[in-house]
Structure 1
Amino acid sequence: MKKHGVLNSHISKVLADLGHTDYIVIGDIGLPVPDGIPKIDLALTYGVPSFEQVVDAIAADMEVEKVVIASEMVEQNPIAFEYMNQRFVGIEQQQCSHDQFKQLTGGAKVVIRTGEAKPYANCILQAGVYFGET
């Protein structure tokens, strides 16, 4: 039994299988999931678990080299936007339109659905390569 990190067996497997430049999506309750892309549904009730809780847990267990958000997050969900800027300091960040974001979900290894019920609380986390502590 794992004693730290992501305990969800489905998420843990996805993270272990990621290669360099593979990516996952963490989405709110309304983000559509393209056909053929696996979905791990964590939503329990509105807001539970939150976008931030899920991103924190996954980012702590994943080597992230790039983050993508929808540009609409800046004005429509400034709290999430500020959170992303603070959480991923020093990591490449990219913005695109929400329509482009939804198209990108079609290349994800998985979409992880949170219980977040605020608009544009979605991100793409692209895997980097972990070479150990230096």
Structure 2
Amino acid sequence: MLKKGILHPQLARVLAEIRHMDTIVIGDAGLPIPKGVERIDLGWKEGNPGYLDVLEEILKYIIVEKATFALEAKNFSLDFHNKSLELLPKEIPVDYINHVELKEQSKMAKAIILTGEFTPYTNVILVAGCAY
């Protein structure tokens, strides 16, 4: 039995399988899952686990070289979005696309990790970096 780290077996496996340039999406409770993309649903009630908590924990385990957010995050949940930016490595580029395009790009993700978050537009596409 693991005594620390990510205890969710599916999530731990996906994070261990991520390679350079693979993408994962961390999303709110309502983000649709495209056919063929692995779904890791962590949400068990409204707000739990929260998007920021999941993002912060995942960033402890993977190298991220780029992040993409929906433009709408700046308009509908700016304070929440700014907290997301504070968690990301400072040196990585951050892109913005409209929410419809974010959902389209999520079709290429290795996995989509759903949280229990009910705050609108709390979704991010993370591009994995290389550890060397």
Alignment TM-score > 0.5, same fold: yes
User: Is 2:58 the partner of 1:58?
Assistant: yes
Whichever residue aligns with residue 13 of structure 1, its letter is R
- 1:97 and 1:74 map into 2 onto residues whose CA distance is 11
Give unmatched runs, 5+ long, in structure 2: none
Which residue does the alignment assign to 2:49?
A: 49
User: What's the offset of the Cα at 1:84?
Assistant: 2.0
Shift of 1:83: 1.0
- Contact 1:5 1:60 (8 Å CA) reproduced: no
* 2:25 partner amino acid: V
Conserved 8 A contact 1:44-1:115: yes
Q: TM-score, normalised by structure 2?
A: 0.94
Alignment of 1:1-134 (within 5 A): 1-88=1-88, 89-131=90-132
Q: How far, CA to CA, are the matches of 2:21 and 2:104 in structure 1?
A: 17
**Which portions of structure 1, spanning 4 or more consecutive aligned residues, are displaced by more than 4 angstroms?**
none
Runs of 5+ unmatched residues, structure 1 = none
Give 1:116's aligned amino acid.
Answer: E
Amino acid at match of 1:118: T
Which letter maps to 2:68? V
Query: Which range is displaced more, 76-85 or 43-52?
Result: 76-85
Q: Give the AA of the match of 1:14.
A: V
Total equivalences in the alignment: 131
Deviation at 1:6, TM superposition (A): 1.8
- Three-state SS of the structure 2 residue aligned to 1:67 is strand
Question: 3-state DSSP class of the match of 2:67?
Answer: strand
Secondary structure, aligned partner of 1:105? helix
Please state how far the C-alpha of 1:75 moved relative to its aligned partner.
Answer: 1.0
Deviation (angstroms), 1:14:
0.7
State the distance in 2 between where 1:76 and 1:37 align. 27
